Amino acid sequence: MKLGGIPNVFPRSRMPAAGPTRFSPRPGLALGTGQIMTLVGNHAVAHAVRQAMIAAGGGFTGAYPITPATEILHLIRYWEANGRMPSLGYNAPSEHDAMSACIGASFGGVRTFIATASVGFMHMMEMVEWAGQNRLPIVMALSNRANAPLNIWHEDVDRARARDFAVELVAENHQQAYDLSLQAFRIAERAQWLTIVNQAGFFTSHSSAQVRVIPDDAATGFVGEFQPLLDPFKKSISKGGLTSPAAYPLQRAQNFAGWAAIPRTIQETHDEFGKISGRAPGAFFNTYHAEDAEYLFVNYGFLSGTLRTFIDIMRGQGIKVGLISGTMYRPFPGRELVNAIYQQMPQVKVVGVFDGTLDPVDGPIYTDLSAALNRFGREYFPQLPPKMFDFRFGGGQNPYFSVLNGALYRMIEEANRPENRAVERPIQQLDRNGEGPAVELDLTDVEGLPPSVTDAVILEFLGRGGLGAVSAAANLVEIVNGGDRFAQGIPQFGSEKTGSPTFGTAVISKEPITSYSHEGKRQAVIAFRPDLVEARHINRIKDGGVLLVNTSLSPAEIRRQHQVPDSVRVFTIDATALSLKALGKDFPNNVLLAVLAHLYPELISLEQLRARITEDLRGKENKIIQGNLRLIEEAVSSLQGENLA
């Protein structure tokens, strides 16, 4: 039926009616196949883009630098320059101009990609909506970052939700950042819609982890050649200038109908990718120990990894808690989520939704889910919906286990209240600094903990911008991941300037590492300056662990100044003096890694460090490479401390 020439575009939802919802109850995320590479999240995205451009035989990449997404384009520009990637790169004078250029390229009939973050995303927002509403198959990588004030936390995911002009996918970890970016090209070009892949700024974009990259031939066969819907060289068109009042609602009606078909496209793409990669966790969301859960967490993004480890801990204590980790954020899979909660998770008493916003009203994910429960849950009447909490982890921060324990405690407390027919929606602010609800979680004598908690070796690097603390953690992770263990490197930055505090954490385990929250005792704390050592760092070192300090002071002086207990071994080395002598610059990171190789040969060897330095400095002047190699040979002879034999 047509009304005034405009088709009726409000049919019943194309999502499945009440019935079995496809999701895997199998715990964990499959590792699948592919070449194992240690990558930061940004480089994982870049690898997917490179393969997509090879499949197309060319393409266009628009860029304007904005942390934490810049490294994606850095690597892409390197590949474009040396012929490994056949796309044309355009370095724009502004974010608005970068997106405008991508729009022109997409209209011109080529595969198109752009990366941005935070304020860059907001600066180009006019053209982002323009690209989405005009159905251009551009792929965008969005490394989420907080704003006002700028910070390492991340809160970009919901900025584009209100207008529904972009397909939005959310990566939980590095592997999904790669997998979803590759799938995004196929989704965008089949649905003819701007497709955004979100990853957590810094915690994913700048941290290091294992990623399995499928072979180029498999990737290019999956993505396929670019087939433009309109070929401007065959038929001239005019698009986007000024639309008549009569045509505008028709165009929106067509978009509405097209939007309803996107979930099927995402599902089909997900399933086909699973056949070649061995990774098909769920097109819309995946679950973890949800089938018998009484308390259910719902989250999108990197926090899901920490929640998985926390759930392992709680399951060991007999508490039935589970997780829904979302992947498809727009369109929102409301019916799918409701079907899963009512049918496959019938024992759920309380749902805790995690939102990275600070708005005093209901958070975006909470709002979407509660609306879906109200709309689709009626089909399950008289079965009542579970009670709900809206947990805020302000600006997208990384809550500690003790904070998550406080959230779970409130869910359990609510479940034990007298039954009522109302769905309660209290907002709980989670604060990792101890000002919000937290219940201390002591894991000292807990049995049945996952190996990634009990067996993990944690090393913490304390530095300042320009000294290489984050690079040292990343290089250690790169070396360890080349063996039979798993390693994760997590950076944390202060203000973006030389000399500001920067920290790197390297976590090593025999099992895959999912959590981004590591509260366990440190095997070693490595301080690039003595003034960075605080009591809280010393208290986190395990008995028999190491405090290694770059200083001209003796171990005894450091022990006395910082009141280091006898249970901690103290070592010092003047890495700055050695570096200035060999390189003429203060780069102490490789000296300190050489000391770690001496202290912990089971983790890293000098031979591995030499190979890593040679690879890392490839393309530099030979004197720089040789100077760094001499440094690590001289390091051990200059070390001061206990038990040096």
Among 363, 396, 430, give the residue marking a domain's end: 430
What pLDDT, on the 0 to 100 scale, is given for residue 327? 97
Per-residue pLDDT reduced to its tens digit, 425-443: 444 555 444 434 445 566 6
Residues 267 and 121 in one domain: yes
Residue 503 lies in a domain: yes
Q: Tokens 């978009």 map to which residue?
A: 255
More confident residue, 523 or 150: 523
**Residues pairing with 493 in the sheet:** 502
Question: And the tokens for 526?
Answer: 């490595």
Q: How far apart are CA 366 and CA 372, in angstroms?
A: 10
Say if residue 494's pLDDT is above 70.
no
Report which residue type is found at 106.
S
What is the 3 state secondary structure string of 132-175?
Answer: HHCCCCCEEEEEECECCCCECCCCCHHHHCCCCCCEEEECCCHH
Residues 32 and 178 in one domain: yes
Residues 102 and 248 in one domain: yes
Confidence of residue 160 (pLDDT cuts 50, 70, 90): low
Residue 580 lies in a domain: yes
Helix axes 247-260, 262-277, angle to 10 degrees: 40
Instruction: Note down the domain range covering 90.
Output: 28-229+242-277
Confidence of residue 6 (pLDDT cuts 50, 70, 90): very low
Residues 219 and 100 in one domain: yes
Say if residue 202's pLDDT is above 90.
no
What pLDDT, on the 0 to 100 scale, is given for residue 156? 54
Residue 11 lies in a domain: no
Residues 594 and 616 in one domain: yes
Residue 446 lies in a domain: no
Residues 267 and 385 in one domain: no
Per-residue pLDDT reduced to its tens digit, 292-318: 999 999 999 999 999 999 999 899 889
- CB-based contact 225:57 (threshold 8 Å): yes
**Average pLDDT value for residue range 475-502:** 81
What CATH number is attached to the domain comprising 324?
A: 3.40.50.920
Helices first, then strands: H and E counts in the chain: 21, 24
**Average pLDDT value for residue range 270-289:** 95
The H-or-E segment that residue 592 falls in is helix 589-599
- CB-based contact 499:428 (threshold 8 Å): no
Say if residue 135's pLDDT is above 70.
yes
Question: And the tokens for 118?
Answer: 């935070």
Say if residue 94's pLDDT is above 50.
yes
Residue 441 lies in a domain: no
What pLDDT, on the 0 to 100 scale, is given for residue 441? 63
What pLDDT, on the 0 to 100 scale, is given for residue 23? 38
Confidence of residue 30 (pLDDT cuts 50, 70, 90): confident
Q: How far apart are CA 190 and CA 264, in angstroms?
A: 11
Stretch among 41-50, 75-84, 478-487, 542-551 having the lowest mean pLDDT: 478-487
Residues 397 and 490 in one domain: no
- CB-based contact 488:207 (threshold 8 Å): yes
What pLDDT, on the 0 to 100 scale, is given for residue 145? 80
- Whether omega for the bond prior to residue 68 falls within 30 degrees of 0, making it cis, is yes
If DSSP codes are grouped into helix, strand and coil, which group holds residue 608? helix
What pLDDT, on the 0 to 100 scale, is given for residue 617? 85
Say if residue 14's pLDDT is above 50.
no
**Average pLDDT value for residue range 454-465:** 90
Say if residue 159's pLDDT is above 50.
yes
Say if residue 362's pLDDT is above 90.
no
What pLDDT, on the 0 to 100 scale, is given for residue 520? 81
**Average pLDDT value for residue range 129-152:** 84
Say if residue 9's pLDDT is above 90.
no
Q: How far apart are CA 22 and CA 111, in angstroms?
A: 32
Report the C-alpha dihedral over residues 202, 203, 207, 212, rounded to 10 degrees: -120
What CATH number is attached to the domain comprising 612?
A: 3.40.920.10
Report which residue type is found at 31.
L
Query: Percent of the chain having pLDDT more than 70?
Result: 85
Per-residue pLDDT reduced to its tens digit, 41-57: 999 999 999 999 999 99
Say if residue 133's pLDDT is above 50.
yes
Q: How far apart are CA 432 and CA 450, in angstroms?
A: 23
φ, ψ for residue 186, nearest 5 deg: -70, -40
Confidence of residue 383 (pLDDT cuts 50, 70, 90): confident
- CB-based contact 514:31 (threshold 8 Å): no
Query: Percent of the chain having pLDDT more than 90?
Result: 56
More confident residue, 446 or 286: 286
Residue 7 lies in a domain: no
What CATH number is attached to the domain comprising 71?
A: 3.40.50.970
Say if residue 407's pLDDT is above 80.
yes
Residues 424 and 459 in one domain: no
Residue 385 lies in a domain: yes
Q: What domain count does the chain have? A: 3
Question: And the tokens for 577?
Answer: 């003096």
- CB-based contact 98:48 (threshold 8 Å): no
Confidence of residue 343 (pLDDT cuts 50, 70, 90): very high
- CB-based contact 393:356 (threshold 8 Å): yes
Residue 439 lies in a domain: no
Confidence of residue 417 (pLDDT cuts 50, 70, 90): confident
Residues 383 and 410 in one domain: yes
What pLDDT, on the 0 to 100 scale, is given for residue 161? 66
- CB-based contact 310:401 (threshold 8 Å): yes
Say if residue 116's pLDDT is above 80.
yes
Averaged pLDDT score across all residues of the chain = 85
Which of the 8 DSSP states describes residue 638?
A: G
Residues 390 and 471 in one domain: no
Residues 411 and 496 in one domain: no
Report which residue type is found at 113.
F
Stretch among 40-49, 195-204, 482-491 having the lowest mean pLDDT: 482-491
Residues 57 and 121 in one domain: yes
Report which residue type is found at 126.
E
